[in-house]
Amino acid sequence: MINVLIADDHTLIRKGLKQILDDTPDMRVTGEAETGAQAIQMAQKSSFDMVLLDISLPDKNGIDVLKQLKLNNPEVPVLMLSMHAEDQYAVRSMKAGAAGYLNKQSAPSQLVNAIKTVASGKKYISGELAEQLANGLSQGYQELRHQALSDREYQTLCLMASGKKLSEMAKIMSLSAKTVSVYRARLLEKMNLKTNAEAIHYAISNHLIE
């Protein structure tokens, strides 16, 4: 039996995922979390075979939650779920320790297979992503500008693009406004952009926000 913890702040999505897994003979959902902090706490208190983790949680960035989960329980695989296109977050997630990445739109058809794959100790990526990566290699892979950013810089960029003010960004990231300003300056420099408006335009054009 594969015991699964689901971390997603959308009740309907959690119920949908739970229904799929509870209908599968060798799987069951034994924990549900609505926030990153709750997921970290539950994973420490109870034993799970794997975690289904939404990348967009209300209190913490999903990548930060992933890193903490892997720090606390390195042997428990984490499968990331997201509304974002795979080419935006998948590689970043896998570098941070995820065992796999699944777009929510394809989740119903691929979910069971993905869970079985990561629960057995293997990595899971969809056929679409594998094809994208293979095409990139055959064409001489070029890293997009935002892929050079650190996780904090990337989070700053996404929050900027979603219309958050500096004070709001600082609160969400649990950092001082001064520190967030440093991240903002760094990301502009790394991406060779001159203004916040250019950064926001880039993020929207590259579908970095939902």
Domain extents for the chain?
2-136, 145-205
Give the confidence band of 92 by pLDDT, cuts at 50, 70, 90. Answer: confident
Domain 145-205 CATH class label: mainly alpha
- CATH number for the domain running over 2-136: 3.40.50.2300
pLDDT of residue 143: 60
Q: Please report which helix (H) or strand (E) contains residue 86, including its range.
A: helix 86-95
Give the confidence band of 141 by pLDDT, cuts at 50, 70, 90. Answer: very low
Beta bridge partners of residue 61, listed in sequence order: 56
Give the confidence band of 137 by pLDDT, cuts at 50, 70, 90. Answer: low
* Mean pLDDT calculated for residue range 171-181: 92
Give the confidence band of 181 by pLDDT, cuts at 50, 70, 90. Answer: very high
Give the confidence band of 105 by pLDDT, cuts at 50, 70, 90. Answer: confident
Tokens describing residue 116: 């079985």
pLDDT of residue 132: 64
* Mean pLDDT calculated for residue range 159-166: 91
Which of these, 77, 30, 19, 24, lies nearest to 50 by C-alpha position?
A: 77
162 Cβ partners below 8 Å, 6+ apart? 209
What φ, ψ does residue 100 adopt, rounded to 5°?
-175, 170
| Long-range contacts at 82-87 (CB < 8 A, ≥ 24 apart) | 82/54, 82/55, 82/56, 83/56, 83/210, 84/55, 84/56, 84/207, 84/208, 84/210, 85/207, 86/125, 86/126, 86/128, 86/129, 86/132, 87/129, 87/132
Of residues 95 and 133, the one with the higher pLDDT is 95
pLDDT of residue 210: 59
Tokens describing residue 165: 């003010």
pTM of the model: 0.69
Cβ–Cβ < 8 Å for 35, 64 = no
Average pLDDT, the chain: 86
